[in-house]
Amino acid sequence: MLAECTLSAPADLKSKSIASCQFTAKWKKVTNAIDYTIQYRKSGAAVWTVINSTGNVDSYLLNALDASTTYEVKIAAVCANTETGIFSAPITVTTLVCTAPADLTASGITTTTAGITWSVICSAPKFTLRYRRAGTVEWFGIKSIPSTSYVMTGLHPNTTYEIKVESKCKNGDSEYSPSIFFTTLSANTAKNILLIIVDDARFDSYAANGGPSFFNDVNISRIAQEGVNFTQAFAALSMCAPSRGTIMTGLYPHLHGITDNTPPNENQTLSNISFPEILRDHGYYTGLIGKYHISTLPQPGFDYWMEGHSNKNVDAKFNVNGIPKTIPGHITDVVTDSALAFLNKVPEGQPFFLWLGYKAPHLPPVPRMEEEGIYDTVDMPFPENFYRYETNVPEFSYKCHSYGDTLFIEDYYRGYFELLKGVEIRLGDIYDALTIKGLIDSTLIIFMSDNGYLVGEHLLMEKRLPYEESIRIPLFMRYPSEIEAGTIVSDQLAMNLDIAPTLLDFAGIADTFGFQGISLLNMINGSAGRNQLLYEFINKECVPDLRGVRTHNYKYITYNCTETTEEFFDLVNDPQENINLFNDPAYATLLQEYRDKLVFLRNYYQDFSWDSLYECALTNPERLTSNTKETPALLNTFPNPVSEEMMVHFLSSEKNSGSVQIINAYGAIVWSVSMDAPFDNYLSPVNVSLLPAGNYLVLLTHGNKRYKHAFIVQQ
C-alpha cells in the first residue's frame, strides 16, 4: 500500500489571461512535488473534470471552455510516489462573453489601401473594424467581416490611421483590441517596379559594359550609370522560356519545370507561386506586356495581360486579357505604346509592377523602319577566337551550332544592333512618361536579358551552351533613394534567379516562399553574396544534360555522357575559354575540387533530376604533359538522391586494382566490394533500399589513389 502524500496544497491559486474559451490557472510550486493535479467544473455542477498530470509547472491552460460561464478550480501537488496531496481551496473564474482579437497588423500598404489582419484566441463568427484618422474624434466602422483579414480601400495618401477590431459572438461582443497605427504612402513615394527584359541580348553590347562606340545607348546605360551595374550576371539556364520561368519563380528550371521553350500554339503554366502573384496580393497593380514565351494565355498574378512571342516583328499576334488580337505596327512600337497606355491605367495612388518584354534583338532581323540600314557602313564587332575548338571538345558541339561565315556574323550583328536601337529609343518615351507623372524616381527600373548569345566565338552560334557569351547577361538597376549612382558590383555573381527575391525585398514583403535566389539589394550593401553558381541545361537539340560550376576564377562543365566529357577553364588566364584544361595534370586537384563543388551545389539546389546517360564523348582528347603523374578520373552515381538501386560509375585513363566502399555520415562502412583484377571502367548497381535515409559517401580506391562522391538516400 502506497504511503499517503502529505504535501501541502499549492498556495496563491489564481487565474490570468481569461478569454471566452480558456484561461490560465497559476500557483506557487510546492517543494518536493513532481507533478500537479487540477480539478475543475462549472459552478454548481456535481462532477469534477480531472487533469491528472500537468507536469512540474506553475501554470496550466484550461481550454475548450464555454463562454460567459463560471468555473470552480482547485489544484493539488503530486508526491514522488504519484499519490495526490491536499487540494487547495477552489477559486471561481468566469470566462468572457467574447474575446477580443489579438496581433492586429497592417501590411501591403499603398497610397490608398492597406491589408489588415488579426488573430483570435477563441473563434468568433464575425468582426467589426473601426478606424479614424489619427488625432480625430469620429470613428468609422466596417461591420460583419467574416474572416480575420480585411483590405481597406479609399484611404487618403500620406495619412496616419488608427484602427481596432472587436469580435462579434453569439452571447455578445468583445472589447476592442488595442489600437494600431499605420501611414499610407505618399503619392510620389509608392515603390513602383518596371522590369525590362530584352531577348537574346549579350552582356557586352552597352556603353556601361564597354560596348561598341557606334551603339550610343543613352537610355539603356542610363540605368547603370544612375544606379548599379552587376558586371558578373548570369542565367541559370540560357534559353528563353526556362530563363523567364526562373525570373518569375526565383527557382532553377529543374524545380519550376520549364526546361525547354514552349512549342508554338502550346501553353504551359508554372505550378510554383510567382512574384507577380505576391506583389498583387500586397496591393500592386500588375501587368505583363510583350514576350513571356511560357504561355500566351493570361497567368495568375496579373491585372493586365498582353503577351506575344511569334516570329513576326510586324503585325504580330497578341493575347490581350484572354482575347487573341493581331495588332498592326512593329512589335517594338506596339509593346512600348501598350506600356505607356498601361501607365495611364494604373489606379491613382496604387503602386504598379510592369513586366515589359521586348522581343528584340531576337531573330528575325526585321527592325523598325527608323533603324533599318543605320549601321550598313559601320564595322561590326568580330570575335578574336573565330576558330574551332580542336582538342578536348565535346563531340556534339558543332552538330547544331556551328557557323563559319564571316559575312553572316556581320549581317547578324547589324540586324541585332538595329533591333536593339529601337528598344533604346523607345525606352526614352517610357522614361519621359514616368517623369511627367512624377514617378521616375519612385520606380525601380531593371534592365536585363533572358540569356546571352554566342556570335561566332569558336565558330559557335547559339545560346544553350555553357560558355560565357551564352550565359552572361546584362543586369542594371536604378532607384535613386536606395541605390547610389555609378555603383558597380563586380565581386559577386548575380543571376536571373535573384530577381524575385529582390522585388519582394524592395516592396518590403518577407520572403517566405522558398525562393532560391538572393536579394540584389543585399548584394549591393554587402549583407549577402554569391561566389559560385550552378549552371544547368536539360537535354535538347544535340546537347545532352549538362551541369556547370562557375566561380570568379574557374568554370567546370560536365556532360551526362557514356564517356567522361568534361571541360575546365581558367577564366583568369583564359577569359575567352579557348583551352579546355580537363586533361592538364597541373589542374587535377582543382578539377576534383570543382567536381565536389558541383555535388554540393546540386544537393543545395535540390537538383536530383539527372538519371540518363547519352552516347557522347570528347573528340581529339589531348593530354598535356607535366612533371606530375596525376591521371584524370571520374566517379559518379545516379540517380542521386536514390531510394532503391543506384549505379556507381567510374572512369580512369589507367588500369589498377581497387575497391569500392559506401560510408555513412558516422564514418562506418556499410557496403564494400574489392576488385583484384586491374580495371579502368567500373559500372555496377548497388542496392541501397535497406540503408537509412541520410548522406553517404562512395569511396573508391584505385591503385594508390582514392576518389569520393557524395550521394543522398531518401526512403
The CATH number linked to 649 is 2.60.40.2550
CA distance 252 to 243: 9
Is the same domain home to 179 and 198?
A: no
- Domain end, chosen from 94, 112, 127, is at 94
The answer to which of 222-231, 380-389, 494-503 has the lowest mean pLDDT is 380-389
CA distance 163 to 177: 9
Among 234-238, 538-542, 648-652, 681-685, which stretch is predicted with the lowest mean pLDDT?
538-542
Do residue 290 and residue 414 come from a single domain? yes
Q: Are 640 and 673 part of one and the same domain? A: yes
Cα atoms found within 13 Å of the Cα of residue 343, Cβ hemisphere only: 22
Give every CB contact of residue 45 below 8 A, 6+ residues apart in sequence. Answer: none
Q: Does 32 reside within a domain? A: yes
pLDDT range class, residue 625, cuts 50, 70, 90: very low
Question: Does residue 488 fall inside a structural domain?
Answer: yes
Shared domain check, 68 and 114? no
Separation of alpha carbons 561 and 564, rounded Å: 6
> What value does the mean pLDDT take over residues 238-257?
94
- Residue 495, CB-side half-sphere exposure with 13 Å CA sphere: 30
pLDDT band at 610 (very low <50, low <70, confident <90, very high): low
- Boundary residue ending a domain (478, 511, 544): 511
For residue 400, pLDDT beyond 60:
yes
* Backbone φ/ψ region at 321: left (φ over 0), alpha (ψ -120 to 50), beta: left
What pLDDT was estimated at residue 306? 96
Q: 623 burial class (0-12, 13-18, 19+ CB within 10 angstroms)?
A: middle
Kindly report which listed range (128-142, 333-347, 479-493, 663-677) carries the lowest average pLDDT score: 663-677
Whether residue 610 is contained in a domain is answered as no
Looking at residue 109, which CATH number applies to its domain? 2.60.40.10
Residue 164 and residue 49 share a domain: no
pLDDT tier at 642 (50, 70, 90 boundaries)?
Answer: confident
What is the pairing mode between strands 475-478 and 192-198?
unpaired
Sign of the dihedral defined by the CA atoms of residues 436, 438, 441, 444, in that order? negative
Band of the pLDDT at 157, cuts 50, 70, 90?
Answer: confident
> The domain spanning residue 419 has which CATH number?
3.40.720.10
| Neighbouring residues of 543: CB distance < 8 A, sequence distance ≥ 6 | 396, 400, 464, 465, 537
What confidence category does residue 628 fall into, taking pLDDT thresholds of 50, 70 and 90?
very low
Q: Are residues 77 and 124 in the same domain?
A: no
229-266 burial by CB neighbour count: b if 16+ within 10 A, else e?
bbbbbbbbbbbbbbbbbbbbbbbbbbbbbbbbbbeeee
| CA distance to 98, 136, 140, 145, per residue, from 164 (Å) | 15, 15, 11, 13
Residue 340 pLDDT level (bands cut at 50, 70, 90): very high
Q: Is 138 a domain residue?
A: yes
Does position 186 have pLDDT exceeding 80, yes or no?
Answer: no
Question: Domain check: are 302 and 446 in the same one?
Answer: yes
Residue 145 CA to residue 125 CA, distance in Å, equals 9
Clarify whether residues 265 and 133 are in a common domain: no
Q: Per this entry, what is the length of the chain?
A: 715
Task: List the domain range (segments joined by +) for residue 687.
Answer: 632-715
Q: pLDDT class for 615, splitting at 50, 70, 90?
A: confident
- Claim to verify: residue 443 and residue 372 sit in the same structural domain: yes
More reliable by pLDDT, 533 or 630: 533
Mean pLDDT of 420-428: 98
Asked if the structure places residue 537 within a domain, the reply is no
| Number of domains present in the structure of the chain | 4
Is residue 529 in a domain?
no
Does residue 82 share a domain with residue 106?
no
CB atoms under 10 Å from CB of 597, counted, come to: 17
Residues 161 and 42 in one domain: no
How many CA atoms within 13 Å lie on the side-chain side of 82? 4
Within-domain flag for 50: yes
Domain limit, last residue, from 484, 511, 538: 511
- pTM for the complete prediction? 0.68
Name the average pLDDT for the chain. 92
Rounded to whole angstroms, the Cα distance separating 696 from 714 reads: 11
* Separation between Cα atoms, residue 503 and residue 491, nearest integer Å: 21
pLDDT band of residue 404 (cuts 50, 70, 90) is: low
| pLDDT tens figures, 694-712 | 888 898 999 988 888 888 8
513 C-beta neighbours (distance < 10 Å), count: 18
What does the block give as the cell for 97?
Answer: 462573453
Residue 278 shares a structural domain with residue 425: yes
**280 in any annotated domain:** yes
What one-character DSSP code corresponds to residue 498? G
Q: What is the pLDDT of residue 620?
A: 78
